[in-house]
């Protein structure tokens, strides 16, 4: 079942309005979730909508937040998101960083007391049209073990860096710091397939090929998968994200990061408030003159895309696949899996609004 991006976006907007969000915030949610579906990150688009709604019902997401910025340094702000959905708080924080970067050349916002922020790229890429480089990260519910550990300590904690090039081209790295995303296990489960070694361990800390590993008390492995292949690096990257997003901002962190699913309660002894994010920009003109810098990035992109491939498939730069998927889906619509379509129809009927199909 396919849906047009316009219909999907206006459906999400209507849902969020019904849930009490302001017009501005509802539109941001619609944009961010639709962008995920357009880019092919199906796990982070409208598929999450029912999850967000349950968190609103539980009172964990506040649909009418009051944002309070604290100017800690000229180029560093802290944002109390007042339990906002992260889709909105990270967007608002990035807007502020864009204003400050205009003045100082770079600037940063640490966000606490927030919730899940969707795809990291949605926030970092806001910088591109200003010829700034965007940066975003967020911590998340614990699913990933440290290298050498078997306790869930980190989320899949994404990092995004978005760099503008000439003619609206760009380099957009948006990556989870785990070896595989949770969504990949879901797909394997749906297809009744084993997962590759190196994605997950069971609750004894042993490698497993069981796609139900997480449901059965197991955990995800950090990028690198094992000692020989440098999983201390994936663990280190995930730690960095947790420290910048959670520890330093005043959000909760590590094993205490609040769970995304509404049926699990956040722990009672959280060391901070809610989830945290970290966003910011560098002005590309701060490196070398804008014209030169963007041209060099284009030369880089061109050279890498034309480097010698192993087989007939061309080498890609970070973000190329998502760009191609967006082009295709803008034209032909966004494919939704049956469960997500069903969810959408239920939400539409419950809230008495038109479904997007």
In the region spanning residues 47 to 86, those forming contacts with its own copies, defined by CB under 8 A, are: 72-76, 78
Cα–Cα distance, 226 to 16 (Å, whole number): 42
Q: How far is the CB of 256 from its own copies (least distance, A)?
A: 8
Q: How far is the CB of 28 from its own copies (least distance, A)?
A: 24
| Residue tagged active-site, from 91, 116, 123, 277 | 116
Nearest to 134 by CA among 174, 166, 103, 104: 174
Residue 104's Cβ-side half-sphere holds a number of Cα atoms within 13 Å equal to 16
Residue 266 makes contact with its own copies by CB under 8 A: no
Cα–Cα distance, 14 to 19 (Å, whole number): 9
Q: Is 232 a catalytic residue?
A: no
Residues 16-45 that bind its own copies (CB under 8 A): none
Q: Which of 143, 284, 334, 336 binds its own copies (CB under 8 A)?
A: 284
Nearest to 14 by CA among 5, 27, 33: 27
Residue 265's Cβ-side half-sphere holds a number of Cα atoms within 13 Å equal to 3
Residue 140 makes contact with its own copies by CB under 8 A: no
The 10 Å Cβ neighbour count of residue 139 is 31
Q: Which stretch binds its own copies (CB under 8 A): 11-19, 41-49, 167-175, 334-342?
A: 167-175
Q: How far is the CB of 253 from its own copies (least distance, A)?
A: 6
Contact 232, 147 (CB under 8 A): yes
Residue 291 makes contact with its own copies by CB under 8 A: no
Q: Which is nearer to its own copies, 236 or 335 (CB)?
A: 236
Q: Which of 288, 330, 350, 354 binds its own copies (CB under 8 A)?
A: 288
Q: Which stretch binds its own copies (CB under 8 A): 9-17, 34-42, 229-237, 343-351?
A: 229-237
Residue 335 makes contact with its own copies by CB under 8 A: no
Burial class (CB in 10 A: 0-12, 13-18, 19+), 138: buried
Residues designated as active site:
116
């Amino acid at each position: 079942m396919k849906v047009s991006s316009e219909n999907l976006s206006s459906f999400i907007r209507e849902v969020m309005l019904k849930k009490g969000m302001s017009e501005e915030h509802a539109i941001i949610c619609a944009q961010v979730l639709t962008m995920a579906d357009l880019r092919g990150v199906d796990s982070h688009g409208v598929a999450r909508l029912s999850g967000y709604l349950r968190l609103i019902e539980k009172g964990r997401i506040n649909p009418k937040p009051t944002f309070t910025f604290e100017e800690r340094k000229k180029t560093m702000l802290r944002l109390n998101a007042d339990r906002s959905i992260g889709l909105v708080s990270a967007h608002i924080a990035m807007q502020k960083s864009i204003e400050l970067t205009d003045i100082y050349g770079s600037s940063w916002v640490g966000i606490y007391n927030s919730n899940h922020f969707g795809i990291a790229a949605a926030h970092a890429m806001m910088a591109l049209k200003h010829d700034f480089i965007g940066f975003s990260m967020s911590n998340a519910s614990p699913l990933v073990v440290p290298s050498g550990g078997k306790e869930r300590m980190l989320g899949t904690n994404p990092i995004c860096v978005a760099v503008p090039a000439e003619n609206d081209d760009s380099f957009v790295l948006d990556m989870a710091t785990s070896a595989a995303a949770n969504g990949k296990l879901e797909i394997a489960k749906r297809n009744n397939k084993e997962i590759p070694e190196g994605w997950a361990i069971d609750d004894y800390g042993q490698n497993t090929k069981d796609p139900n590993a997480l449901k059965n008390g197991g955990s995800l492995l950090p990028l690198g998968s094992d000692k020989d292949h440098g999983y201390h690096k994936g663990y280190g990257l995930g730690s960095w994200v947790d420290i910048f997003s959670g520890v330093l901002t005043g959000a909760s962190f590590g094993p205490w990061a609040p769970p995304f699913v509404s049926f699990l309660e956040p722990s009672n002894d959280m060391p901070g408030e809610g989830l945290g994010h970290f966003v910011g920009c560098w002005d590309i003109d701060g490196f070398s003159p804008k014209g030169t810098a963007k041209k060099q990035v284009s030369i880089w992109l061109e050279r890498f895309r034309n480097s010698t491939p192993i087989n007939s498939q061309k080498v890609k730069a970070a973000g190329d696949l998502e760009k191609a998927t967006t082009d295709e889906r803008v034209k032909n619509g966004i494919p939704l899996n049956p469960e997500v379509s069903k969810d959408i129809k239920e939400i539409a009927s419950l809230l008495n609004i038109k479904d997007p199909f």
